[in-house]
Structure 1
Amino acid sequence: MELVSTVRHDGDGGVLDDLDTVRAANRWLQQQLDWLSTATGTAGLVADEELREAIVGVRRAVRALFARVVSPAPPSAADAHRLMPADEALSVLNAAAAREPVAPQLHWPAEAAPTAGLLSAEGDPGVRLVAALARDAVDFLSGPQCEHLRACHAPRCVRYFIRSHGRQEWCKPSCGNRARVARHYERTRAAGPS
């Protein structure tokens, strides 16, 4: 969800891309330090243009597959007009996940419960990062939370979110407020002057 949420609304009807430049991609990577350390061992990674494009490619594929999940409801307005075809998105995502050879490892400290992890044979931290992003998307899309995925349709919002209760329609309360204000405005405008 963090990767997909790098596409967001600017508050004025436009769309911002938190990965639109190498500098912006590095800022996003800095914000993901905990995950990077745990999932990929790449906490000190600095992106270049090639890595930024690879990350954006995985994000495009995931957003296209998210659109497929929420269908027949409309996808996010940010990229509804330029979605990658689903079969291409699957190929991109699976190819990115396959770039890193990994083996499952069991960790079992003496006084703790066992945990599983992955041991990478890949030396390139950029490849490890892109593969980890793709694996996380594969895990999400094939897991139980996927059925709760929704696109927020509040005015100007472009986010996907995981519905936490049956009546949740928006990604956050401010989107709900914007949607209610827009509905009120439309009702009063349709009613005409008093």
Structure 2
Amino acid sequence: MGDSTSGDARLALDLVLTIRHDGHGGVAGDLTDPAGLTAWVHAHPDALPGADRFVADPATLTAVRDLRAAVRALFAHAVRPGEPSPADAARLLPVPQAVERLNAAAALAATVPVLVWTEDADPVVREKAASGAVPLTAVLARAAMTFLASPDRHRLRACHAPRCVRYFIKEHPRQEWCTPSCGNRARVARHHERHKKSA
């Protein structure tokens, strides 16, 4: 992914990409147990404050997986009129329910406005967490909201290479797949399909 992708977009996309093809025609998830979520959070130290100290419990795992389902539903909505990821096509949350779930998760972190006014700049109001700890689901929900409300949302695509269930952010006009290997698989599948029809 190129440098033009924001941190919020990267974090939201990384959450959705914890659903992947299992290599056997099905779908697998990386967040199958608390240890898997702990490892995923530890892999995002720049985006998730306190990632190195985070240890998931079953309730947090369930909350993050529920949030992931909402974000994937909203990603599927964002890529319209294109098709959603095949992993989502048959089991999407209705958009109002996904939005409600995202808003509820974001609301778990109470914030307060803080005035910042340095000597050589205009005053700026920033949001700061009202308490020290911000729940993981709130951070992830806010990242997804920021991405979905940004112009980057228009570059979001579902990869339709055979067996791929990923979403990606289109980095250049000719990009059709999430990775070069998906592009190769799609070209091989098209080649086989053409030869089967002409045989």
What TM-score do the two structures reach when normalised by structure 1? 0.86
Of 69, 93, 97, which aligns to 1:60? Answer: 69
State the match for 2:112 in structure 1: 103
CA 1:71 to 1:45, structure 2 compared with 1: closer, same or farther past 3 Å? same
**Counterpart mapping for 1:130-169 below 5 A:** 130-169=137-176
Of 84, 88, 95, which aligns to 2:93? Answer: 84
Relative to structure 2, which stretch is displaced further, 171-180 or 14-23?
14-23
**Counterpart mapping for 1:7-86 below 5 A:** 7-37=19-49, 41-86=50-95
- Contact 1:122/1:128 (CA < 8 Å) preserved in 2? no
Q: Which amino acid aligns with 1:148?
A: R
State the match for 2:180 in structure 1: 173
CA 1:107 to 1:142, structure 2 compared with 1: closer, same or farther past 3 Å? same
- Contact 2:76/2:88 (CA < 8 Å) preserved in 1? no
**What is the number of residues matched between the two proteins?**
186
Larger helix percent? 1
Q: Which amino acid aligns with 1:26?
A: T
| Distance of 2:139 and 2:58 partners within structure 1 | 19
Q: What secondary structure is seen at the aligned counterpart in 1 of 2:46?
A: helix
| Distance of 1:25 and 1:116 partners within structure 2 | 33
Shift of 1:10: 2.6
Shift of 1:119: 2.1
- Contact 2:73/2:93 (CA < 8 Å) preserved in 1? yes
Q: Which amino acid aligns with 1:28?
A: W
| Distance of 2:88 and 2:190 partners within structure 1 | 24
| Distance of 2:104 and 2:35 partners within structure 1 | 26
Unpaired segments ≥5 residues, structure 1: none
Shift of 1:103: 2.6
Q: What secondary structure is seen at the aligned counterpart in 2 of 1:81?
A: coil
Root-mean-square deviation (CA, aligned residues, Å) is 2.3
Q: What secondary structure is seen at the aligned counterpart in 1 of 2:128?
A: strand
